[in-house]
Amino acid sequence: MEQRDTDALDISTKVQLYGVLWKRPFGRPSSKWSRRFFIIKDSFLLYYAENEKRNFETNRYFNIHPKGVLPLGGCVVNSNEVQGMPFTLTIAHQDFSGNIVLAAESELEQSQWVRQLQESSKVTWKNSLLGEAMIESLEAQGLQLAKEKQQYLDKLMIETEELSLQREQKEELKRLNELLEEENQKFEEVVTELRMEQEQIKMDLDGTTQSLKAVELEKEELHGLTTMLQKSLEELAQEKQQTLELLCTSDPEGLEPPETALGSPQGIPDASVLQGNLQLIEDRMRSLQGEKEQAEEKLKTNEQQAHVLQEEREFYYSQAQTLQLSLAELTVDKENTEAELKAEIESKLELEQRLKVAEEALQSLEEGLNSLSRSREKEERMKGDVRQLRQFFEECICAAEIEARLPAIMKNAVYIHKATVRRIKSCRIRKKSPRNLRGISECHGRNSFISKYNNTHTHTNVRYFILYLKVSTVPVKSPDMPSRLQRRVIECHIT
């Protein structure tokens, strides 16, 4: 069995499938099988003697006088198995007196013949008529669909023009939302930075408070030590006075040098002891006096350090209060910005609704003017449409006037921005830390943080003012608000 090469054969001899199969006699039961050459041509099964295969392959055309012809239209083809022939296939039809049983040499040939026979059985006269009817129906439907398509295209063109206008409005709203979203993110960044600075200042304030407590404790200890040393000095002074009195009693002249007194046989023991005690008392007094002076000097240094820490604590407290106030102001401004965004969106939606109402009124007015018959009701409706159109165009004129005054508003906004930047810089100079904070190394190195904080806080104020300027100088109901807001942002940042 071989599949026919359709390109190598003449068009008049094209067949779907050909090959040699085993055939059992038709119409009567028999166990005898004979080999026959079968050809499937369109919806017919032709069979010949086995030697016809050689002539068919040599001459490249099939014999028009077969041994038998079977119409395949409407037949049922199944594959089954018969004793002695495992690869059989059955062809059945209601007009046949019996089933036609054929057998192939292999399972592959069996499946190919069954598939091709089933395809050929679909070609019937009824199916051809049905196909023509379906073609005519499809052509009619195609014409109807073409007309409807043209109508839809015309309608689509009109709707496209309307949608293009709506798309432009939505794009403007989208740009506005993106811009305001960026501003909202900047708000969040500024608030985060301020909160971090507030936490840092709080930590430094706590450290300063702890250092101040330690200095106060050390100050109290030094006070106690000074009191104790003073008491010891007083005791030593009394003891020295007593020793001098004893010396005067043992040596009435009192003016004789110690060597002479020591040379006296009567005063050697008493005078030497008293002189030694007196020397020890004087040494101890000098030592205690030195310790007292050191303690007083250290106490003075601690008092200066406590004073510096107190000033630093007050400075940090004032900065914390300023940051807290800035956070509160930023929170209020953020809420105001969100409220303005909501109002802007509502105004845009209201503007779209009014535009739609104006278009409907204009269309109704055109229909009323084009109609030949007019009634009092139509005239009243036309007057209402004219009033709506007049109100709409008056609002458009107001928006145009605001647009005409926009350059002056932008110029004033830029001047205000420059003046505020200069004022913030001057405030930055006034907010620098005191001189004595930079001269004392025991203040935990906080001067660098104070300078860093002043720079950061000034930069935050500038950003906050620019952000406020962007939001506050934009008209609320201006139709081209996104483009003007972008220009305002660019000019403010360039300045």
What average pLDDT does range 412-433 have in this prediction? 48
Per the prediction, the chain carries an average pLDDT of 71
User: In terms of pLDDT, which residue wins out, 462 or 27?
Assistant: 27
Can you read off the two tokens belonging to residue 125? 């006269």
Contact (CB, 8 A) for 49 and 96: no
| Best CA proximity match to 492, nearest among 415, 404, 393, 424 | 415
Domain boundaries, the chain: 11-123, 406-433+444-495
* Least confidently predicted of 33-42, 237-246, 483-492: 483-492
pLDDT at 49: 92
Q: Give the range among 66-75, 180-189, 355-364 with minimum mean pLDDT.
A: 355-364
Nearest to 75 by CA among 89, 94, 60: 94
Strand pairing of 85-92 and 68-71?
unpaired
Which of 476 and 20 is assigned the larger pLDDT? 20
Is the pLDDT confidence value at 448 over 80? Answer: no
pLDDT of residue 369: 64
- Write the pLDDT tens digit of every residue in 100-131: 889 999 999 999 999 999 888 887 777 777 77
Helices 447-472, 406-430: inter-axial angle, 10-degree rounding:
170
Residue 127: what pLDDT? 72
Residue 81, SS3 per DSSP: strand
Count Cβ atoms below 10 Å from residue 47 Cβ, excluding itself: 19
Angle, helices 268-370 vs 376-404, to 10°: value is 140
Q: What is the dihedral of CA 266, 269, 275, 276, to 10 degrees?
A: 170
Query: pTM for the complete prediction?
Result: 0.30
Give the contacts of 298 (CB within 8 A, at least 6 positions apart): 222
What is the predicted pLDDT for the residue at 428?
Answer: 42
Top-ranked range on mean pLDDT: pick from 72-76, 270-274, 428-432, 470-474: 72-76
Q: Domain 11-123, what fold?
A: PH-domain like (2.30.29)
Candidate from 119-133, 246-260, 328-342, 364-378 with smallest mean pLDDT: 246-260
Average pLDDT over residues 208-216: 83
Q: Give dist(CA 417, CA 465) in Å, integer.
A: 8
Which is nearest to 22 in space by CA: 99, 110, 94? 110
d(CA 106, CA 112): 10
Per-residue pLDDT at 265 exceeds 70: no
Per mean pLDDT, which of 124-133, 137-146, 339-348, 384-393 is the most reliable? 137-146
Q: Which pairs count as long-range contacts for 352-356, CB under 8 Å and 24+ apart, including other chains?
A: 352/166, 352/169, 354/392, 354/395, 355/392
pLDDT higher than 90, residue 36: yes
As given in the structure block, the two tokens for residue 129 are: 């008529």
Q: Which of 5-19, 85-99, 367-381, 447-461 has the lowest mean pLDDT?
A: 447-461
Is a pLDDT exceeding 90 seen at residue 358?
no
Which among 304, 352, 332 is positioned nearest to 471, based on CA atoms?
A: 332
pLDDT above 90 as % of the chain: 5
Which residues does residue 17 pair with via DSSP β-bridges, in sequence order? Answer: 40
More confident residue, 236 or 250: 236
Residue 77, beta-bridge partner list: 91
Predicted confidence band of residue 452 (pLDDT cuts 50, 70, 90):
very low
What's the rounded mean pLDDT across residues 399-428?
53
Res 53 pLDDT > 80: yes
Contacts 24+ apart (CB under 8 A), 332-338: 333/187, 333/464, 333/467, 333/468, 333/471, 334/184, 334/187, 334/191, 336/471, 337/180, 337/183, 337/184, 337/187, 337/471, 338/184
- pLDDT value for 12: 52
pLDDT at 270: 62
pLDDT for 476 equals 39
Asked if residue 63 lies in contact with residue 47, where contact means CB atoms within 8 angstroms, the answer is no
Instruction: Please give the pLDDT value at position 144.
Output: 85
